[in-house]
Amino acid sequence: MKKIVLAIALVLVVAVGLLLLAQVQSHEGYFSPVYSPDGSEVYFIARESRSLVAGLGFESLTPPAYVAVWHDRFSLRKLDPGTGRVEILKSWPASPVEGRHMRTYRGRVFSTASTQLRWVDEKTSSTRSAFAFPRSRPRSATSSAALGTT
């Protein structure tokens, strides 16, 4: 009887430990800030990401964690430095990371994204993005495919 109670207790401890290792991670990042041509506003690309992460996944110490990314979106935003007001000018559809299930380390959950925002002329901006996925080959997207031209 003691062995059964000990086995059940051990299973419960392991289950609670694994449950504690699962977490929802949310990240918000800001890329490619540029001043407007007249210098009165700042334009930038924002990235909002959320996923469920299960498993240890600590770099070089444990196996990778299991990750399910359910939200990964980019948007073009405008900041008025005088008031601190932020306006979303354009939102793009889901990135290539959204909806993926992967194994990766916790520090690399949302993969690597790089963006470029620049002024073509005084009224037109151009954007470019690139993504590198964990455990898959890098994938790039230009303004027409990933973020569009604004």
pLDDT digits (tens, 9 = 90+) for 84-111: 999 999 998 888 888 888 888 776 766 6
Residue 24: Cβ-neighbour burial (10 angstroms; 0-12, 13-18, 19+)? exposed
Residues of the chain with pLDDT under 70: 16-21, 107, 109-112, 129-150
Helix (H) or strand (E) holding 125: strand 125-132
Q: What is the pLDDT of residue 137?
A: 36
CA angle 39, 74, 119 (to 5 degrees): 30
Instruction: Give the per-residue pLDDT at 48.
Output: 92
Mean pLDDT of all residues belonging to the chain: 77
Contact by Cβ (8 Å): 54, 66: yes
What's the confidence (pLDDT) of residue 95? 83
Q: Which of 137, 136, 92 is nearest to 115 (CA)?
A: 92
pLDDT at site 129: 66
Residues in the chain: 150
